Structure 1
Amino acid sequence: MRVMLTVVLTTMSALMPVQARTPAPQPAANLVVCDKYCDDRAADQASSDRIAVTAPLDDRVLQLHFADSDPMGWAVIDHSRPGDRVWLDRSFDGGATWDGGAQLGLTTAPSGVGGWRTQMYNNDDWHNRGVGALRACGGTVDTGRIACTPWARTRWNAANRAQAAATAMMALYDNGTGYFREGGGWGTAVSLAAVIRNASVSRMASYDYAMATTYDKNVNAGRGQFRNEFSDDTGWWAMAWLDAYDRTGEQRYLATAKADADHMQTFWTGDCGGGIRWKEGLTYKASISNSLYIQVNATLADRTGDATYRSRAQQGWEWFRGKGLIGSDGLVVDGIDGTSCAAVGQRYTYNQGVFVSGLTALSKVTGDQSLIGTARSVADSTTRTGSFFTGDDGIVHDPGEGASCTDDGSYFKAGLVRGLSELDAATSDMPYRDFLTRQADSAYAHSRNDFDQYSRSWSSSAGKGQGCQAAALALMNATY
């Protein structure tokens, strides 16, 4: 009996076979993935049916369907004509490429049907740590046009928005290098820290392997122990490995954080009364470097009980507060000019957040509650509606924010939201919880796509990528 398909439903009736057919063979280069089931499974055996995304193609409609618990997907071309083609593409790098996953299940619609579909294919390749995405594509027989839906994925490892953001983050992870694609050094440190903290707060351990992968592949690269000529890069790595130590208890991560802290100490000079330089060979003393210096050493003092680290953190704070780095508007400026020793530069969100983290950590190891008061003052100046960073709509932005997700600034808000959440946890009234929740709700509603990727702005949708995802993941962690 031939079943005519004129409309693809989201009910189980849509799982009934459209018409028996033999799928076109996959290209030889395509990877065959087996998980709960193997690729090329009949769609009428799906355990459920959810239409994730659609796309118009002339007078046809392309649909990407998922059986979330299988977890597999298939493509449908509705209102098809004889000779129309439909297939799936599968990507393991966030949709950048689909080598090894092109035209999966390619099939041609026969006559006498109102719609046609592919077989089912796995979304992910867990045996090879491949976090994937699918899209439905098709081509028309009469006009020759080709279209595809947006990339999307099953709800596997996406039970809530924090886990979903982590899964989208890991789709950008390169298992071969241990770095996030386009993330560079410090960007990978920020991203890895967000993934580690997600595992701790959401209790999803699926991506714990990234810690050892990144460490083993890179600990001996360059100068070793994730050190380089930038004091702030080294500080970001130190915090990532402290997070890894907290997560696993492995001493090697703590040892690397100590080595990084010692390396940061070599940037300390007597110029302008102290402080650490931003980069070897330059005299500029960046606020971010010195805030990280306080944060790293105070955190090490807490984890080890070693008074040396506490003394370093206190010395860093004494220098910082004596240099006018907190302006009259209550915000931290970019740094100290090495010639004039004057506080100069723009204000950025990460300078506020990492400063807040540093003082919160230092307060914990010294018992000095005045540090919490100073941290709250900067946090209040940052989060106040209608202020420099927070617009009248209550959503935070960096100056000149733009839409890029690959430049340094795309990571900045990760430092801000981590700092606010740590300060919140250290205070009984949790004064920034509502602010953080407002950011997360806005980002989820306005900045996110069907792949759970986020834009740089948390009030509008634009480009997606590495830095923006790291900042959004840090935000979702902070509000979990």
Structure 2
Amino acid sequence: MKPARSRAALFGAALTTLSSLLLGAVPAVAAPEAAVCNKYCDARDPALSPQDRIPVTAAVDSRTIALHFDDTDAMGWGSIDNGAAGDHVWLDRSMDGGRTWTSGSKLGDTAVPSGGRGWRTQMYNVDDWNTQGVGALRACGQPAGGGAIACTPWARTTWNAGSRSTAAATALMMSYDRGTKLFGGNGWWTAANALTAVIDNIRITGMGSYRYAIADTYEKNINAQGGQFRNEYLDDTGWWGLAWIAAYDLTGESRYLDTARADADHMFANWNGTCGGGVRWNTGGNYKNAITNELFLGLTAALHNRIPGDTVYLDRAKNEWDWFRRSGMINGDRMINDGLDGNCANNGQPTWTYNQGVILGALTELHRATGDQTLLTTARFLADASTVRLQTDGVLREPGEGDGCTGDGPSFKGAYVRGLGTLDRALSDHPYAAPLTRWADAAHDRDRNALDQYGPHWNGGGATDYGCQQSALDLLNAATG
């Protein structure tokens, strides 16, 4: 596992007060927010709403602050009740999942009129569809005369959230940086995994609202790093290659297949004789690890299955599997360790979840290419072992799983369940549907906030951020089909 490329953790979307979270970070005098217009423009009268759903509330000094939604029109408003004249209520709007809201703070700020005990803001749009802004709202209030401010958790309407997986996809898209066109701002291989999860969700659910991310990511980053989504880390290149295979399958656009070929060729150029073969982990050394070679196997088999008359990529896939199964990285427990040591023996490093999952998808692709039934038999042996050995308290758990969602590790479980789901669909008895469903149910019931954001532990607890969100979306995709 390469060193983590961490990023800032996502602010919690819990009930907050001025004293506890120093909401002075919100400007005392907010800059005017440009009106957002979708079906209707901002500042619409709530009396015109055809419905009123209250997903979250907060309290301060006996006042109740509520966030209201008009799901039909994807708008929301805030209210404060059981208060007094001069109490203030407003909305905050965030376009990055609640991380920041400076440009969307204190929308509709208004005060309870004289003689009243409650009041409400006007309605504001949750999303800015004109700028690809996937948004969230929260309602905030402050008693007259100043003092503590309380805000509800962040939430959004049911727009683009008609199922558990589309809701998770929408929450993941809140982490899609509209500047860099990468998830998390500057994530690289993790962004490839997040994009793959979104593409899979489009394929499975038919909800194409975020299809734009495919072309946007490609066009913005095609010349980044080594070009064609290649760099010195060959596993990074493999993740992107598989993302573009998924993009090609969904769109039929040849440019994505061409880039996947360029990625596979770059990986093959780094196959050498150390330890008898295999693709090295990076261009600056000769470490042979599992994930790089599993990705190479899956990518070359997938290319063969999509290029009429191909023999080159099929030969490379067969040679890869022949080397990998003899390499020693598959241990006596049918689990795959991280890689090989200086003596070309199993290095005994952790059996990361992604090492157990990517191989399942790769062997399924190679079976499709060759018709060799033993490949599915082997994949099943490996899956039988990992679904038991990696399960704790009824859910999948990463070795050494932490409470955070930054860095590389939080994306691993997503890659595992993606591969397990691919294998399960290829087997007539679907033996892994039950654990996938069980894990998905647990995550949805215990590891999800009001914004449909997920944490690292599918039994609950920990932070939220796009790595954990991608893994949860992969899980919900796999459990759906």
Question: What is the TM-score with the length of structure 2 in the denominator?
Answer: 0.92
Superposition deviation, residue 31 in structure 1: 2.3
Which residue is equivalent to 1:64? 67
- Cα distance in 2 for partners of 1:271, 1:163 equals 45
Which residue is equivalent to 2:313? 309
2:288/2:339 contact within 8 Å kept: yes
Give 1:269's match in structure 2, choosing from 266, 269, 272.
272
Give 1:120's match in structure 2, choosing from 123, 139, 143.
123
Superposition deviation, residue 29 in structure 1: 3.3
Superposition deviation, residue 142 in structure 1: 4.8
1:129 aligns with 2:123: no
Superposition deviation, residue 282 in structure 1: 1.6
- Cα distance in 2 for partners of 1:83, 1:471 equals 46
Which amino acid in the other structure matches residue 55 of structure 1?
A: A
Superposition deviation, residue 443 in structure 1: 0.3
Superposition deviation, residue 267 in structure 1: 1.4
Superposition deviation, residue 43 in structure 1: 0.9
Deviation per CA, 1:40-69, whole angstroms, max 9, x where unpaired?
001111110000111121211111110101
Which residue is equivalent to 2:324? 320
Give 1:380's match in structure 2, choosing from 379, 384, 401.
384
Tell which deviates more after alignment, 107-116 or 44-53.
Answer: 107-116
Which residue is equivalent to 2:419? 419
1:285 aligns with 2:316: no
- Cα distance in 2 for partners of 1:99, 1:238 equals 37
Which residue is equivalent to 2:457? 457
Which residue is equivalent to 1:156? 159
Which residue is equivalent to 2:22? none
Q: Which has the higher contact order (CA 8 A, sep 6+)?
A: 2
1:454/1:461 contact within 8 Å kept: no
Give 1:55's match in structure 2, choosing from 28, 53, 58.
58
Which residue is equivalent to 1:96? 99
Question: What is the TM-score with the length of structure 1 in the denominator?
Answer: 0.92
Q: Give the match's secondary structure for 1:47.
A: coil
- Uncovered stretches (5+) of structure 1, i.e. residues with no partner: 1-25
Which residue is equivalent to 1:166? 169
Superposition deviation, residue 30 in structure 1: 0.9
Superposition deviation, residue 400 in structure 1: 1.1
- Cα distance in 1 for partners of 2:256, 2:102 equals 35
- Cα distance in 1 for partners of 2:48, 2:106 equals 21
- Uncovered stretches (5+) of structure 2, i.e. residues with no partner: 1-28
Which residue is equivalent to 2:371? 367
Deviation per CA, 1:222-260, whole angstroms, max 9, x where unpaired?
211000000100000000001000010000000000000
Deviation per CA, 1:296-336, whole angstroms, max 9, x where unpaired?
00000101131111111111111111111111111111111
Which residue is equivalent to 1:21? none
- Cα distance in 1 for partners of 2:289, 2:143 equals 57
The percent identity for this pair of structures is 53
- Cα distance in 2 for partners of 1:71, 1:221 equals 36
2:180/2:186 contact within 8 Å kept: no
- Cα distance in 2 for partners of 1:427, 1:125 equals 43
Which residue is equivalent to 1:438? 438
Superposition deviation, residue 183 in structure 1: 5.4
Q: Give the match's secondary structure for 1:90.
A: strand
1:55/1:62 contact within 8 Å kept: yes
2:248/2:254 contact within 8 Å kept: yes
Superposition deviation, residue 177 in structure 1: 1.2
Tell which deviates more after alignment, 207-216 or 171-180.
Answer: 171-180
Superposition deviation, residue 154 in structure 1: 0.2
Give 1:189's match in structure 2, choosing from 172, 189, 192.
192
Which residue is equivalent to 1:336? 340
Which residue is equivalent to 1:39? 42
1:163/1:198 contact within 8 Å kept: yes
1:348/1:398 contact within 8 Å kept: yes
1:61/1:79 contact within 8 Å kept: yes
Q: Give the match's secondary structure for 1:74.
A: strand
1:42/1:120 contact within 8 Å kept: yes
Deviation per CA, 1:159-203, whole angstroms, max 9, x where unpaired?
100110111111111122111125511011000000011101000
- Cα distance in 1 for partners of 2:303, 2:316 equals 10
Q: Give the match's secondary structure for 2:204.
A: helix
Q: Give the match's secondary structure for 1:75.
A: strand
1:448/1:461 contact within 8 Å kept: no
Which residue is equivalent to 1:408? 408
- Cα distance in 2 for partners of 1:28, 1:402 equals 39
- Cα distance in 1 for partners of 2:172, 2:458 equals 17
2:290/2:355 contact within 8 Å kept: yes
Which residue is equivalent to 1:350? 354
1:209 aligns with 2:207: no
- Cα distance in 2 for partners of 1:326, 1:222 equals 33
- Cα distance in 1 for partners of 2:116, 2:32 equals 31
Deviation per CA, 1:133-165, whole angstroms, max 9, x where unpaired?
000011122561111111100000001001101
Give 1:141's match in structure 2, choosing from 144, 152, 174.
144
Superposition deviation, residue 379 in structure 1: 0.6
Which residue is equivalent to 2:25? none
- Cα distance in 2 for partners of 1:439, 1:322 equals 33
Which residue is equivalent to 1:399? 399
Which amino acid in the other structure matches residue 438 of structure 2?
A: R
1:74/1:118 contact within 8 Å kept: yes
2:404/2:456 contact within 8 Å kept: yes
1:182/1:406 contact within 8 Å kept: no
- Cα distance in 2 for partners of 1:144, 1:27 equals 18
Superposition deviation, residue 114 in structure 1: 2.5
Tell which deviates more after alignment, 26-35 or 69-78.
Answer: 26-35
- Cα distance in 2 for partners of 1:324, 1:286 equals 11
Q: Give the match's secondary structure for 1:105.
A: strand
Q: Give the match's secondary structure for 2:394.
A: coil
Which residue is equivalent to 1:74? 77
Give 1:232's match in structure 2, choosing from 221, 227, 235.
235
Q: Give the match's secondary structure for 1:179.
A: coil
Which residue is equivalent to 1:390? 391
- Paired positions, count: 450
Superposition deviation, residue 27 in structure 1: 5.1
